[in-house]
Amino acid sequence: MQTAPPDVSTAEKDFYLKEFRGKSLLFALRAKDIIAPRDRDVVQEVLRTLGLNETRMILLVETDASTPERRAVEELHTQLSHTLSGIPAPVLLSPESDENQRCLIMLETLRTAPVFIGLWPAQARPPALQNTQQLANRLTVYKLVILDPQGGLTAGGAPLSFLNGSHLEELQTHGARGELPHERHRQLETARLALEGGVASVSLCSPANLAKELFTYEGCGTFFTLTDYCQAERLALDDFPEAERLIQRGEQEGALKKRSPSEISQLLLHGYGARLGKERDLVGLCALLPYAGDNAGEIAGLYTLRRFHGEGIGSRLVGKAITEGQARGLTYLFACTNQEGARRLFERFEFRQVTPDAVPATKWHAYAPERKRAVSVYKRKFS
């Protein structure tokens, strides 16, 4: 039996499988992009996993019906049929039919099978991506996944991991001026129209990285939403397992110091989490630890997934902590960090760098001397 790739942790995978259970995902791909067995195997394994997870899947495959492409689709179907029962053969969709007719064909299949595989002629009108977007909106699927060997978008050589509505419109403007390759411009247009039509999110990634994009916090492509929908709220008990996984990731990356289980429990009990979208996963967190004897609070454990750096997640969390500190009538807040980005963030919120003795002495009890020398201490007074 195949298992998750080494870079997909079981905990993260299980979290996303819970999100996708009972939902519908539509995949847009080209048959020529799964001719290579390695890419096809990754796609097949993700689909198999989702099928066993009670996730409904629609595959819309653009094909020119050449022998290599036909064999690639047949092999994908055969592989899936070995573990998911009742999957009918791929269906050639007619460009002459309207979208309601196409939807009815899909629905009839999905009544009894977890997967529908539809073939779309490569030279047909509307083009495959436009047909995909129309069907995604007509059915209001939960998520649209566009597969492309180039993977996600980049800007200046750096990956664009996350795009919301305003950034998407800006990129589309560049595409309309001919500053983006035509295929990329069409993908952006597909993503925008799908989101505006009710699809919750769109992912653009390569076939080889499909598992990492769907089953990990960080992903490996470009994730689109219409707006950021960022909410920073107090962590609930049911959030704790997910939040602890974020803390562990931050420790592994060196963004957070190593903490004992009791110290992690303190972060969780006093923690705030940032989410993008209703009922979506946590993308960042921090805690507001109380120092009652000094009527102060510490912003601790501030961490944001790399994928969402630059999207204002850290600002939402720090802003939430400041609002909470003011509501509690605290004299001041402080924070300690060895991260340059966090330093700039605190300075934007009018924190001022101070010496370690300007904050509660209990902060430094059992604190590693080498780390104390490495961190910068920031303080923001309320009175």
Domains and their CATH numbers in the chain: 10-224 (3.40.1160.10), 230-381 (3.40.630.30)
d(CA 81, CA 8): 24
- The first and second tokens of residue 228, run together, are 């950021």
For 48-74, the pLDDT digits (tens) are 999 999 999 999 999 998 999 999 999
pLDDT of the residue at 5: 46
E-state strands within the chain: 24-30, 56-63, 91-92, 115-121, 143-147, 154-155, 158-159, 162-163, 201-205, 222-224, 230-234, 271-276, 282-291, 296-304, 332-337, 352-354, 376-381
> pTM for the full model?
0.75
Distances (CA, A) of 241 to 27, 31, 39, 168, 188: 30, 39, 32, 33, 35
Contact 60, 27 (CB under 8 A): yes
pLDDT of the residue at 346: 95
pLDDT of the residue at 359: 95
Please give the average pLDDT of every successive group of 10 residues along the chain, which has 383 residues: 52 84 96 96 96 96 95 96 91 93 94 95 94 95 96 82 73 62 88 92 95 85 78 90 91 89 95 77 92 96 84 88 95 93 92 95 88 91 86
pLDDT of the residue at 166: 65
- The DSSP bridge partners found for residue 223 are 162, 203
Beta 222-224 vs 230-234: how paired, if at all? Answer: unpaired
- The DSSP bridge partners found for residue 275 are 231, 282
Distances (CA, A) of 209 to 130, 220, 222, 285: 23, 6, 11, 26
